[in-house]
């Protein structure tokens, strides 16, 4: 085989590899306005150090068989409202946290020590809904505004190594 043929084969391999890397990078959510478009076109998704604006919900309607990873710290801005900060739906999905990932509900922004009876309307945090035959693992949650985790209308959902830390609420009066 000639050197030119070897070079062409090598160049095509590099092109294929770089195309795969680009496709994977196209499935990383770093800005809130990317969420819907990435969910529509990707099945291997990474939420990377996302800041969710106050009053907005991180609604993750995953395509069947999708995998979603949380990377870095995902934070939520303050707004008084009723709802959930994160809602995840889908069948046969895998949702996990990468090493050192954190979902920070920024609870102290809402906490008034009165729970649901106080003067501050507080959202709930992490809701798994209409999810079947799925696994959630290595999820680290910190400072839920009120109510950390709900699972509803779901079957055969496994939670493994799910950590919830609301210890800051012990000192500041909590929800």
Per-residue pLDDT, 19: 33
Instruction: Tell me the β-bridge partners of 15.
Output: none
* pLDDT score at 1: 53
Close Cβ partners of 130 (under 8 Å, ≥ 6 residues apart): 89, 90, 153, 154
**Residue 66 DSSP label:** -
The confidence score (pLDDT) of residue 44 equals: 98
What is the maximum span of the chain, computed from C-alpha positions, in angstroms? 79
Query: For strand 51-52 and strand 73-76, is the pairing parallel, antiparallel, or unpaired?
Result: parallel
Residue 30 sits at the vertex; the CA angle it makes with 27 and 17, to the nearest 5 degrees, is 35
Cα 115 to Cα 56: distance, rounded to the nearest angstrom: 21
Q: Which residues pair with 103 in a beta bridge?
A: 74, 141
Q: Are 65 and 95 in contact (CB under 8 A)?
A: no
Task: Measure CA 151 to chain center.
Answer: 15
Per-residue pLDDT 10s for the chain (175 aa) are: 555 444 444 444 443 343 333 336 789 999 999 999 999 999 999 999 999 999 999 999 999 999 999 999 999 999 998 899 999 999 999 999 999 999 999 999 998 888 778 888 999 999 999 999 999 999 999 999 999 999 999 999 999 999 999 988 767 666 6
Classify domain 28-172 at the CATH class level: mainly beta
């Amino acid at each position: 085989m000639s050197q030119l043929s070897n070079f062409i084969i090598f160049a095509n391999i590099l092109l294929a590899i770089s195309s795969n890397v680009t496709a994977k990078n196209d499935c990383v959510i770093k800005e809130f306005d990317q969420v819907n478009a990435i969910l529509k076109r990707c099945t291997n998704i990474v939420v990377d150090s996302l800041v969710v604006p106050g009053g907005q919900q991180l609604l993750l309607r995953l395509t069947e068989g999708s995998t979603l990873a949380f990377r870095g710290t995902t934070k939520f801005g303050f707004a008084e409202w009723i709802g959930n900060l994160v809602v995840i739906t889908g069948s046969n999905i895998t949702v996990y946290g990468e090493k050192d990932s954190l979902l920070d509900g920024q609870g102290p922004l809402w906490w008034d020590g009165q729970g649901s009876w106080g003067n501050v309307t507080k959202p709930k945090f992490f809701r798994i809904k209409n999810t079947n035959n799925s696994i959630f693992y290595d999820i680290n949650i910190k400072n839920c505004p009120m109510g950390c985790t709900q699972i509803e209308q779901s079957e055969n959902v496994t939670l493994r190594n799910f950590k919830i830390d609301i210890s800051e609420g012990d000192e500041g009066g909590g929800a």
